[in-house]
A and B are shown apart, each in its own frame.
Chain A
Amino acid sequence: MKRFLPPLIPFVAITLALEFAVRSGLVAGYLVPAPSAVFRALLDSRDELAAAMAKTSAAALIGFALSTLAGITIAVLLSSSRAIQRAFYPYAVFFQTVPVIAIAPLLVIWFGYGMKTVIAAAFIVSIFPVIANTLTGLLSTDPALRDLFRLYGASPGVTLVKLRFPAALPQILTGLRVASGLAVIGAIVGEFIGGSGLGSVVDVARTQQRVDKVFAAVLLASVLGLGLFGLINVVSAVTLRHWHASEQQ
């Protein structure tokens, strides 16, 4: 209860304030929907929204998993030598700056309409924070510990698995937290162009001026983002609780 109460207070306060603002006519309902209208839209379209949520979740999860795997692998390669890092890191930055909305029509041409395009969009926008944070983590191993490993004749592989990777975990997890939200955004942008899922629901509802339904879909998207974020927190708690200050109370 102690953990859930603090975030619950602003939620209830904002919901009530918004409901009051719309009902009293301070804010027009066609600009910002009353929370009750959003709730009604959630109920009325529950089947459609549930199916859309399932599709978006699958695409965001796969995109996120791919960017986790690829991001960490790329970071390990980049950290292996200064020369490689200098040669390729600027291109990794490309992923951060690419405006996915602009290249989305190209994704459709490359991957066709449907899930593959959505996964690709989720992957592209979420990979950079994984690379950047993992690389920082891998490059900031305590020099004393590295010397110790060298002294005992540990191979680079063993040093990576037993020392550098575990030591980088806090940073890696920070990267994954950022990436989890971005994967959901990427999936929804992909769905605007590639079709299906919550992105498609938002697109249709917007055309019909159904702000209540737009907000209902957005709410579900944030629930999805929160879910992924929570998942990373669980992993973080399990892996870090014995040794890292951030997980020790």
Chain B
Amino acid sequence: MNRRTFVGACSAILASCRKPSRIRLALNWKPDPQFGGFYAAPYSKHGLDVEILPGGAGTPTVQMIGAGSAEYGVISGDELVVARSRGNDVVALFAVFQNCPQGIMAHASRHLASIGDVVKEGTLAIQRGLPYARILEKKYGFDHVKVVPSPGGDISAFLRDEEFAQQCFVMSEPLQARHAGVDVTVFPVSDLGYNPYTTVLATSGAQLKGDPDHAKAVVAAVREGWRTYLNDPGSTNTRMHELNPSMDAATFAEVAEAQKPFIEQEDLGVMTADRWTTLIGQLAELGDIPQVFAAQDCFRNL
């Protein structure tokens, strides 16, 4: 071994020993299939050490990214636009759900024909602050429906009351309701013309600027993770089920299958300026942001 190869070998060994600095990825809910690709991602292969922080109801991931308590986080597209208008410089890097998986579910026995029928009578459980809730109110009015707070993922009130409708993840609560023997009709919120990117991987402008290669590596790992998860969610589901035993293994498999059409496209996670422009326009019209701004600031396809 000559001197040069010796030095080369030593530096290679040193490089492999040097631990990559640990970064935090904050989720806005418990481990479940909507985060499958994040758990399946081969971070170490891309020289990354990522700690995934599971969240819960109301985990303020967007503020956490801004405050630096997590380098990366999962947020929704509308949250990002509002945050930016308030001076929180967050940038979207990868949009898992290309089509918004949120909707409103009602009992099939009511024979409702469109999303507008949901507010004609009965009770609607919805988070009133959400943009789509306000679009629904603006379009159809809430005069004839009793609006109550959303019970999160809990469907017990729904099961007991036939006139009860509630906001849902299209591939989550309706599934639970069917398991409980109740037939449901689901109206996706995109029926309202509102279709933001959701389950969006985001980081702060400062983090992106400071280490663009790092962000690139994270996105590459996440994209690979999602491809793996879409092809074969089995082993990742087992891991996530251990972390979140409240969701049973069969449901994990079922949801992973049901969410595929919302995620699948040739280049996973890639976003377009048009979609962001539409969203910014809708939020400005609702008064959630004081004025429209350039869509290019919101996202980066890496």
Hey, which bits of chain A sit against chain B, CB under 8 A? 28-31, 105, 108-109, 113, 192-195, 200, 203-209
Known A30-B88, A109-B157, A209-B83; 10 more pairs at CB < 8 Å: A28-B87, A105-B151, A105-B157, A113-B146, A192-B149, A193-B149, A193-B151, A200-B128, A204-B127, A208-B129
Given contacts A29-B86, A30-B63, contact A208 B288 (CB under 8 A): yes
Contact at A109–B160, with CB atoms within 8 Å?
yes
**What are 29 pairs between A and B in contact, CB < 8 Å?**
A30-B83, A30-B88, A31-B63, A31-B66, A31-B67, A105-B151, A105-B154, A105-B156, A108-B151, A113-B146, A113-B149, A192-B149, A193-B151, A194-B148, A194-B149, A200-B128, A200-B149, A203-B127, A203-B128, A203-B149, A204-B129, A205-B129, A206-B129, A208-B82, A208-B288, A209-B79, A209-B82, A209-B83, A209-B86
Residue with the highest number of chain A CB atoms closer than 10 Å, among B67, B87, B149, B156: B149
Chain A residues within an 8 Å CB radius of B181: none
Chain A residues within an 8 Å CB radius of B128: 200, 203-204, 207
Is B58 located at the chain interface by the 8 A CB criterion? yes
Contact at B66–A30, with CB atoms within 8 Å?
yes
Q: Which residue of B lies closest to A193 (CB)?
A: B149
Chain A residues within an 8 Å CB radius of B148: 113, 194-195
A195-B83 Cα distance, complex, nearest whole Å? 26
Q: How extensive is the interface on chain B, given as a class?
A: 20 to 34
Chain A residues within an 8 Å CB radius of B58: 206
Hey, which bits of chain B sit against chain A, CB under 8 A? 58, 62-63, 66-67, 79, 82-83, 86-88, 123, 127-130, 146-149, 151, 154, 156-157, 160, 288
Chain A residues within an 8 Å CB radius of B156: 105, 109
Q: How far is the CB of B245 from chain A (nearest CB, A)?
A: 17
